A and B are shown apart, each in its own frame.
Chain A
Amino acid sequence: QVQLQESGPRQVKPSQTLSLTCAVSGDSIKSGGVYWSWLRQHPEKGLEWLGHIYHSGSTDYNPSLQTRLTISVDTSRNEFSLRLTSVTAADTAKYYCARLELVVMGFDCWGQGVPVTVSS
């Protein structure tokens, strides 16, 4: 059974960088046919896709965040990471890592999510 687990700080100061890591177990991050993704959910609002990465390192980002977002992969650790720079209060949300399955074109496996607050 595939499991994803996010880790990282739950509070970040404005203008600083948010860094999160997703550890994947039960599946190899080198698996074909899947993208490893980051999403977030603002309180009382819908879900927002941030970006994803293929095991080769190929990435795709939401244009709204492209200038601030970097997603990287470490195949030796079977994990991938998010780095979001210059955060503001608008980046306060619950951050999820998830697996995008390309036959389904949907997110079939999710981490539990980590709430992140941007506050001084």
Chain B
Amino acid sequence: DIVLTQSPGTLSLSPAESATLSCRASQTVHNTHLVWYQQKLGQTPRLLIFGASRRATGIPDKFIGRGSGTNFTLSISRLEPEDFAVYFCQQYGSSPPTFGQGTKVEIK
């Protein structure tokens, strides 16, 4: 199975700051089938980015996904209160699909 390692575990930032989250894969993620989700407390995951860099419908351009191979990042600019949440990466370049353990973006 491909292991996805996210860093940092927690990111403490103030509103209006920017965040950069990392997701590293233990093997190449084929076809850049790398997805990012946002999960707020008590809610279900929301798909933000697919194909490593393509925003899902309705996702604002403040969310930018980059990367290929084994290294991927999610950048969030101008943090707003609703952006403070846990972010997961997930790959399905190889079966079984696997998830990272998550990065919590919290208010400093």
Given the known interface contacts A47-B99, A49-B98, A113-B44, the answer about A106 and B92 at a Cβ–Cβ threshold of 8 Å is yes
- Residue among B31, B45, B90, B98 with max Cβ neighbours from chain A (10 Å): B45
B 4-41 binary contact with A (CB < 8 Å = 1; else 0): 00000000000000000000000000010101010000
Q: Are B101 and A107 in contact (CB under 8 A)?
A: no
Q: Cβ of A46 and Cβ of B96 under 8 Å apart? A: no
A62, B96: Cβ atoms closer than 8 Å: yes
The answer to whether B44 touches A104 (Cβ under 8 A) is no
Residue of A nearest to B54 (CB): A104
Within 8 Å of chain B (Cβ to Cβ): is A60?
A: yes
Does A54 count as interface, using CB distance less than 8 angstroms?
no
* Contact in complex: B44, A112 (CB < 8 Å): yes
Interface flag for A108 (CB, 8 Å): yes
Contact with B along A102-114 (1 / 0, CB 8 A): 0011111011110
CA of A25 to CA of B100, assembled, Å: 29
Q: Contact mask A20-49 → B, CB, 8 Å, 1/0?
A: 000000000000000000000000011111
Q: What's the Cα separation between A110 and B38 when bound, in Å?
A: 13
Q: In the complex, given contacts A46-B88, A48-B99, A107-B90, what are 6 additional A-B residue pairs having Cβ atoms less than 8 angstroms apart?
A: A49-B97, A60-B95, A60-B96, A104-B47, A105-B93, A107-B37
A residues contacting B by CB (< 8 A) are 45-49, 60, 62-63, 96, 100, 104-108, 110-113
